[in-house]
Amino acid sequence: MTAWAKPAATEPAAGNQHLAVATSGLGKQYTRGLRARSKWALRDCTLEVPEGRICGLVGANGAGKTTLLRLLVGLARPSAGDVQVLGQRPSDSGQFLREVGYLAQDIPTFRRWSVTDHLRMGAALNPSWDAVATRERIQSLDIPLDQRVGTLSGGQRAQVALALALGKRPRLLLLDEPVAALDPLARRDFLSTLGAAVAEAEGHLTVILSSHLVADLERICDHLIVLANSRTMLAADLDDVIASHRVLTSTRRDVGPIDRQHTVLRVEQTQRQTRMWVRLEGPLTDPTWDSDELSLEEIVLSYLEYHPPADADRGPGITNVAHLGGVS
């Protein structure tokens, strides 16, 4: 074990205890024809995202990431449960849409339009448009304003779309796998621009960013949501996540005592050794276990492979949500 200091819990900005997003039992169902059974794209989703966070949304493909984001911006209506975004239900009104920015997965743009045309559209459709800052942001990335968007590189197009979404100065920004198709340099540039925008906003901009590249999320995010099988596995501050997840190693023995006190995500047992990936629900009282930190990637993988026990609704297993640390 290293002797480095443990990370302090992130303190929210002074006086800013508001929630950007709060969902309760949120679900979305798609019907396929009249006779086929309907599929739940998202089920029993209960989570909270405090304001000012950059929140990573992780999950396998089809886990419900896109569905959740579309529900938050109002492009889809919930089949069950409740969702509150910036204190109100998503509605088809200028007043709500002004505050929420959205970047869809395929980055829709008008391919034949120039960058300037897109900026013009932003100015025409958004009363709170910041024309000067948006143009500067794009020019500082050396993107030519008169070029057709269809001929830009993937990274440049993503940056233009990001600038468009930020241009109306939203309070919440939802990004659906914006960097999935970008090369590492373009990815880095995109996340830099995003982080800089959040820094500039000084706590007034919340970002939810879905991705399956955990390394990126580790750097830029301070909050994490994990979805698997259309359910919420985890929703907590990143520091708390890292601090509370451990891999316990010991000579082969019974997992019962640990299982009763903490949440076991995965167990590997060989003839000689027992290894358990756990989420600590309290202090680890048994010193005979070797406890090692887990990387975020390993933590996320454990959740993606995790299958809650059949009686998950009773007992200490993960039901649908894990609230850790100060998030209540």
- Per CB under 8 A, residues contacting another protein are 2, 4-5, 7-8, 10, 54, 70, 73, 75-77, 92-94, 97-98, 100-102, 104, 106, 108-111, 113, 117, 120-122, 124-128, 165, 168, 188, 191-193, 195-196, 198-200, 215-216, 218-222, 293, 295
Q: Is 191 helix (H, G, I), strand (E, B) or coil?
A: helix
Closest separation in Å from C-beta 47 to another protein: 19
Choice between 201 and 312, CB closer to another protein = 201
Choice between 109 and 263, CB closer to another protein = 109
Closest separation in Å from C-beta 13 to another protein: 9
Q: The tokens 């709170």 sit on which residue?
A: 128
In sequence order, which residues have a C-beta less than 8 Å from that of residue 57 and are 6 or more positions away? Answer: 65, 68, 69, 208, 209, 210, 211, 225, 227
Distance of CA 21 to the CA centre of its chain: 12
Residue 84 belongs to what H/E stretch? Answer: strand 80-85
Instruction: Give the tokens for residue 249.
Output: 């190693």
Choice between 165 and 258, CB closer to another protein = 165
CA–CA distances in Å: residue 224 to residues 141, 152, 208: 29, 32, 9
Closest separation in Å from C-beta 23 to another protein: 17
Report angle CA 60, 262, 248 to the nearest 5 degrees.
Answer: 80
- What's the DSSP call for residue 152? S
Closest separation in Å from C-beta 136 to another protein: 13
Closest separation in Å from C-beta 200 to another protein: 6
In sequence order, which residues have a C-beta less than 8 Å from that of residue 287 and are 6 or more positions away? Answer: none
DSSP characters for 91-148?
Answer: -SSHHHHTTEEEE-TT----TTSBHHHHHHHHHHH-TT--HHHHHHHHHTTT--TTSB
CA pair distance 42, 207, nearest whole angstrom: 20
Closest separation in Å from C-beta 220 to another protein: 6
Residues 96 and 90 sit within 8 Å (Cβ to Cβ) = yes
Closest separation in Å from C-beta 89 to another protein: 14
Closest separation in Å from C-beta 173 to another protein: 11
Choice between 36 and 124, CB closer to another protein = 124
Choice between 7 and 257, CB closer to another protein = 7
CA–CA distances in Å: residue 59 to residues 175, 179, 197, 264: 14, 15, 25, 19
Residues 236 and 49 sit within 8 Å (Cβ to Cβ) = no
Choice between 32 and 314, CB closer to another protein = 32
Choice between 81 and 308, CB closer to another protein = 81
Choice between 172 and 248, CB closer to another protein = 172
